[in-house]
Amino acid sequence: MNGFLKSVCELSPLSEDAVNELSECLCSADFKKGETIHQEGKICKHLFFVESGLAKHQYFHEGSQFIFRFFEDNQFFIATDCFFNNLPAHYSTIALEDSEISYLKYEDFENLCSKYHCFETFARKFVSIVAYTAISNLKGLLYLDATARYAKFLNEYGHLQQRISLGDTAAFLGISQVSLSRIRSRK
């Protein structure tokens, strides 16, 4: 849970009281490779943090898997539709390897925001990062061809290539594994 606290303070330094209260609210869970962290169709009101491991946001449509984000060590993630709008998730988050996940419940998140301006600043910055990343990923899908999307993938996740399967890479790029193999062979 130390990574969670450290990452919050890097984004927005917290007062000693806020750190103490946040640390009292934090929970943790271990997930085995392939386990569901949060499930499509259910409401999940947690701010997650990957202390160690790797996870992905995924959903299925007409028999095809789509992946729109990977989360590695020292990264936050949420089920956006659930967390902010109290709606069932349209996707699941799956552990790609054994993972230690810290999390903060939404009620505690809101309480910390109302009680500590420094934590509210963290929340605002975190939401800005979530929005920017979502728009960047959407622009990549709309404006880039498969080869350019693969180059973008390498730029963002290249250091994780050995940890992400070719199937998951292809699903992230929105192409078949055969197309991915062709693109990779040209590099």
Q: What is the pLDDT of residues 110-132, one digit of tens each?
A: 999 999 999 999 999 999 999 99
In this prediction, residue 187 carries a pLDDT of: 67
In this prediction, residue 139 carries a pLDDT of: 85
**Does 185 score more than 60 pLDDT?**
yes
Query: Rounded distance, CA 47 to CA 37, Å?
Result: 12
In this prediction, residue 1 carries a pLDDT of: 56
Question: Helix 166-173 and helix 146-157: axis angle, to 10°?
Answer: 120
Q: Which residues pair with 28 in a beta bridge?
A: 102
pLDDT in tens, 135-181: 888 888 788 899 999 999 999 898 998 999 999 999 999 899 999 99
Q: Which residues pair with 71 in a beta bridge?
A: 55
Query: Rounded distance, CA 96 to CA 90, Å?
Result: 19
When pLDDT is cut at 50, 70 and 90, the band that residue 84 belongs to is confident
When pLDDT is cut at 50, 70 and 90, the band that residue 64 belongs to is confident
Write down the pTM of the prediction. Answer: 0.91
- Taking the alpha carbons of 155, 89, 80, 99 in that order, is the dihedral positive or negative? negative
Q: What is the mean pLDDT of the chain?
A: 93
Query: Rounded distance, CA 19 to CA 13, Å?
Result: 9
DSSP string of 73-132, one letter each residue: TT-EE--HHHHHH----SSEEEESS-EEEEEEEHHHHHHHHHH-HHHHHHHHHHHHHHHH
